[in-house]
Amino acid sequence: MIVVEYEQIELDYCTECGGTWFDAGELDLLLQSIDIESGNTFLNDMLNAPEVKSTEKERKCPVCNKKMKKSVAGSDNKITIDICPEGHGMWFDGGELHQIIQQFVEKRAETDSAGLQIGTFLSKVFQAQQ
């Protein structure tokens, strides 16, 4: 894991699998940094969503070591992410963060060129290696 810093946001990025860990509040800061107004609604929906069944491997929170719940994120293509039940943070497997940011970027493309550029940059940074 390496620490990536952007706009006072530190997140942990796995160079082997392309996964990303966000401590509590960091994803909200990232969404705010690219001026995504619907970020709070998105996060609240995701955090309060019931756990979904998934064939993905079980993950444990790196902070409290409790089993993380599987939750669905995104509006177009549903993406399964892992959320700490104690609120310590969330894990995105390789490519998942890219998919979520890309959904936001596509919705904003017609109205905000600056936000689009930043969102596109972040989307490319977190795109999984093919």
11 to 60, 61, 113, 114: CA distances (angstroms): 17, 14, 25, 23
Cβ pair 29, 9 in contact under 8 A? yes
Mean pLDDT, 10 residues at a time, the chain of 130 residues: 80 86 83 62 72 87 94 76 91 84 65 54 56
Q: What is the reported pLDDT for 29?
A: 79
Q: Which residues contact 108 (CB under 8 A, 6 or more apart)?
A: 36, 115, 116, 119
Per-residue confidence (pLDDT) for residue 67, from 0 to 100: 95
Q: For residue 36, what are its two tokens?
A: 């995504």
